[in-house]
Structure 1
Amino acid sequence: MKPVAKELLFENGAPNAHYDVLVYDGNGSQEKNLGSLYTISYLKHGDEDLGYIMSLISSVAKREYYSKQSLIEQNPKQAFENTLRKLNEILDDFYENRDFELDLGLLAISGGSIFISHLGKFKIALARQDEYIDILNSVALFDKSSEDARKFSNVMSGKLVSGDKLVAYHPNRSVTLREKILKDIFVNESQDVFHDKIAQLASNVNTFSYCGIHIAIGEIKEIPITKNHKFSDVGQAITAASPAEQETVAVSATKQFLGDKNFSRERPKIQPPPRIIPAEVSISHKRTVLRDIGGYLADLKNIGRMGRKKKTILLAVLAVVVIIPLGIVVYMISSGSMGKASVAFKNAADKYRLAQLALSKSDFRGARDLLGAALSDVSGVRNSKTDKIANEITGTMDFVDKTTDVKPELIYEPGTSQGITVSKIIGDDNSPYAANQQGVLYVVTPGNLVQVGNFAMDAKHVIEMGKYLVAFDENKNISVFSGESQKINLITLRESPQAKVMTAYEGNLYMVTTTGKILKYANVVGDIKKSDWGVLGSENVLSMAIDGNLYLLADNGKIITMYKGKRTGEIDLQFNPSPDSKIFTPANGSTSLFVYDPVKKKVYTFDKTSKMLVSSYKIDEAAEVSDLYVNAKENILILTKDGKIWRIGT
């Protein structure tokens, strides 16, 4: 039995409160034979700093469990009971003179056996065959009314099988409020995914803390154990009323996770194999395919004297068994495909481990960079190992990005308009507008595109401004389409603003120039007037949106917020957007900012107030994307190169 443990320690910095986790697998063969020891502890104290108690408990537990006597006896159950007795003695002294609250869970795993005890609040759960078992509540283990909160509980023991998962943790309020969600993740996901989910919660929720251990049980190479989920009767508590009684540990029985109470721990006697006398060994052999092939190959020396039929069979066997496989191997080696896949897997695995380390430190930007690089390593390299790690990396990336399961919904197919190619999409779900590269504007109707106007320019930008659509060619030409009159007004500016980014709000256009100036063109639908609105620093702005506040998406992964020409703050995306990324916000009191990254093939939603990532949506199922727009209903419209239009409702 090989337990693989991962610490889950995330503190929210509450005053006078401490969490601690110990995972110790033993050092040397004698300690390893006793198995692994784990502690989960929580301490809250008054003005006197008692944080050192945590390290003292871990040190005493490890020292007692792997004591010289325990190493000689090699009895993990007895070692565990001795450890509890010593801890009870030490804690008695502390409780007499100090004021503190302590919750402590202790467990040991040796071979296929596990031993559990606790003091105060503690939970441990088992996941087996997609079933969740709350171990402490699955039996009437304690008399709650008479339990001494300052003594360790009854010892509980049981059997584990390969594939089991355990999670032991301190059930603070922030955890119990999310217990149902965490149960599902624990049962259905891997150890690493469970860890990453906890890390994400700790990063996003300031009041969340978690102290625990996730243990995955590896292959058993011992005698199989029957699968009966019932628990047996409980043993007596390890407490002592007098010093004399403390010398004898009063634990009479243990709980069994599996198996019946009469199950013998003795190994079956193995009979020695019978002595083989050479004369008794038969010289006959069972006929096999390999023997037949060997016979054919042995006949190669007689190939010249063979008949046509046997010669044909022999050459066919030679081709199938030797020449073709050898040719495949030579080709794979010469082409480098075998070595390439191995190197790709190793590089991706190394980056994946570093990404997990970054996540444990809440370095989401670094983790995303590493995960993206790891995916690039295995891109285009296909075998079972690279496919598996690619799926794991993608799953972790989706977890970091809070990716939802919402899929794009097809709302329009070209139909009779199959010959029309459009490159821009904008507007409402029911009747959006689409434009081609020449500036021809269409309204989308069921199964058809109906032309409603022509911007008469290369419409590099088409944006919504109330009842109007505004197009800009990044030179001097602006076209304004009225949804009411269905007419287009062409405006030629006196000089090019040298701008590649624009947005519109309440009849005004805002542009960022290549020199970092922010220009305002007031009253676009009337007597247009230009003014300098503000100045940026050295940031390279990729896109902008406005709702009264101006939001500028920079290539360094920051959203700069401005009001009346002054910088008021910024939002850190925790990733660097690709050059063609866009930012959207409906100007109707929406609390959300939407960032579309065409390389990552996701739309990210951020809360304007908390400045935190809320969710993300995958768009890769909508084929190759030509354009994307987030409308006033906060729905995502996606135009693909095959002329189809998709929608994601957020």
Structure 2
Amino acid sequence: MEKVFIKPTSREIMLKGSGKDGSSDLFSYDYADPAQRGLGHLYVVGNIQAGQAAAADDIDVGYVINLVASLAKREYYSKAETEPKAAFGAALKKINGVIEEFFKQKDTKINIGIFAIAGSQIHISKLGKFKILLARDGENVDILNNIDLFKKETTQEKQFSNIISGAVSEGDRILAFYPSRVMSAREKLLKTSLLELGQDDFAKKLESVKNDKQDFACAAVHVELRKSKEPASEPKPQPKELQEEVVEVISEPAPVAQLAVDDKRGKAEIKPAPAIEIPKIIPAEFSLGRKTKPFAKYIHQLKNMNVTPKNKVLVLGGGAVLVLVIVVTLKSFVFVSASSRALSSAASEANSSIQAAQTKVSQNDLLGAHSLLLSSLASINEAIRTNGTSDKADKAKGDIVKALDQLEQATDAVLVSVAAIPAESGTGRLLAASGADIYAYVDRGESGAIVRVSQDSVSGGVQMSNIAPTSLFGSDDYISAIDPVSKRVSSLSLKKNQVGSIALPDGIVSSYMYRNNLYGIANGGVIKITDAATGHSNVSQWLADGSLAADPRLIAVDGNIYVLSGSGVLSTYYRGEKKNELNVPVAPDADSIMLTTEDGPSLFVVNKALRRIYIVNKSSGALERTLKLNSNSSVSGAAVSKDGVVYVLIGNKVWKVQ
């Protein structure tokens, strides 16, 4: 017989850079004792940057990662019989005490992620910045879903976060890494490579990036989950020669003792000695190992009772009720499916997060509360996606959304139907505005097309080939589709009705077309391609000092350039120089869109998955409004017309937002 189980195979990828991002290290642990198999494998990814006090004292703070890893290993594997999640939590509790003391002593930035894979479960926690991606069924999932959303740059966590748990399965690929500036700039490359490449080829891909850019640094663990088999343990037969020989000893019967007794007449009489009494074994006290039946006494009484028709009805009715109670009890508490248990656990964690968020609100930590709610919403969405749904999970999700609405003071948007894109025209993917006109990119399988959308009508259909764009922009003369994966920009001339294309450089995270010029976040800086829509492809570095704030995500242009980071930092640049930097209560995920108009006062950040539009003041960074799009489907695309009207594409319908 064989045992079949899921086994993670890991590869550590450590590439040293210039040292600007501090010291990084990786640790991977496996169980040493077969009794610890249930605890699975443990991984630690860490980065630490010395503060001013430590640097002034010339203190090497790199040992902290090693200390945390050693503690994690010791505490996690200390009790083999403990459930993995409980062992993980106990290890974190121990580590938090050490970390807390360290923060009291030194001004440092600590970024550590710890995760354990035990069987089909994964448990994750983090301190500071940490990223973990899951590639499954041709899609990438950001497991933590940007748990640092809405946190100020100056805010620093001093304890590991709550445990985030989920299910893993055969064929999953996991990439855990410290999201340094250079790694975040290549996040799309990482996601694409994680989906397409095996473990060795993935490592070679990152090594090739290192060869091209010497200051590229990487601290990552790549894990593949594969099905593994091993023989089931069976008792091994002992060779006959080694078996202990049993010698049977047969003793002769003992002689019967005799006593000489004098009778009254003085004569000696020989009488046999009395036999030794052997105690009688009572069956009730010794039953040769037979187990007493639990209800034997009552069954015996039922057999011997005088059963009248009336008693018979009572007995049968009571028996039926008893059976029904037992079945309901077993169904509710014993025979619960794994998916039901997972949903119940996710719902309980969601309710705990809501209570913790309320505590943070009472302490005026609104950003921390927002982060907790978004993280919990992502966790329960993943649980529902993996295990189906339940009333308890649906209720918990609804409670999180209500708490999020209250925190954001969100209001329902009014959606006015503009037009439906016919199915034969293709599947709507993106929107763009050209003046007051709206255009859509439709997917037609092997190719796509640009169509014009007006009230109750869709016209045109100029074909675009060899491109799968992720963003669409319009000017007075052109509609431009940008595909950073295939590194291509295709632009439709509205006057000539012709399509031209240019090549894009590597590493573009986000891009924006303004007056036919393309601006993009690439390699931690901002590039510019002048007249990209008209076919020019010369790339220049636009930013004077060549670097942006950490984790830049989105860019928008109106003459000034606005860059929004993953931690909610909005930086404004003019003529290559930083003009302003603000902390805003909006932080984008990987699929968000940021739009603006040339003369308008606002930035529009569209979260496609949450179906929300955040309207942020460009000058103050204040969140002016949060609009909820009441739809069961995610937003595919969005555009803002010249007069500031927002349009969204949901399914194959275009709506005007009011």
TM-score, scaled to structure 1? 0.46
Higher strand fraction (1 or 2) = 2
TM-score, scaled to structure 2? 0.46
